[in-house]
A = this chain, B = another copy of it.
């Protein structure tokens, strides 16, 4: 993909990523390191939990979403550097789910103090192959101007 600068972005632009599957083993390994709760680490215990079965940590969903954005989701020149954002997890990710990220540019704003850069606001919706939304992330990302 061609790398994009601030001048290349416009409100309403859309990007769609490749896909990435999550296995039960990956869900449990991520959880063991970062979110060691029974509904993320043990199928049997998960059945009796709020999730009624093994579910990925929301932070795992966020991390997989980032990997899809970095590799195929949005080719920002210089890389994807986020300052933060809002995140929601309306539905759990389950073993075997295949995720894909659809992003839309909501705002493009040159910096007032730094003439060489700006910020874009991007809504990235992560879905499983049934089209069910598992995460909505609205993030602000640093973007450079051409020639900077």
Q: Which A residues are within 8 Å of any B CB, using their own CB?
A: 30, 33-39, 49-50, 57-60, 62-64, 66-67, 70-71, 78-89, 136, 142
Instruction: Name 7 A/B residue pairs within 8 A (Cβ), A-sorted.
Output: A33-B67, A34-B67, A35-B67, A49-B79, A50-B142, A60-B63, A87-B87
How many of these chains are in the complex?
2
A124 CB to nearest chain B CB (Å): 13
Q: Which residue of B lies closest to A81 (CB)?
A: B50
**A37-B79 contact given A59-B63, A62-B59, A142-B50, CB 8 Å threshold:** yes
Contact between B63 and A33, CB atoms less than 8 A apart: yes
Contact between A66 and B70, CB atoms less than 8 A apart: no
Contact between B86 and A84, CB atoms less than 8 A apart: yes
Contact between A85 and B87, CB atoms less than 8 A apart: yes
Contacting residues, chain B, for A82 (C-beta < 8 A): 58, 89
Complex CA gap A84/B139 in Å reads: 13
Contacting residues, chain B, for A63 (C-beta < 8 A): 30, 33-35, 57, 59-60, 63
**A37-B84 contact given A59-B63, A62-B59, CB 8 Å threshold:** no
Contacting residues, chain B, for A86 (C-beta < 8 A): 84-87
Contacting residues, chain B, for A70 (C-beta < 8 A): 35-37
Contact between B80 and A84, CB atoms less than 8 A apart: no
Contacting residues, chain B, for A78 (C-beta < 8 A): 49-50
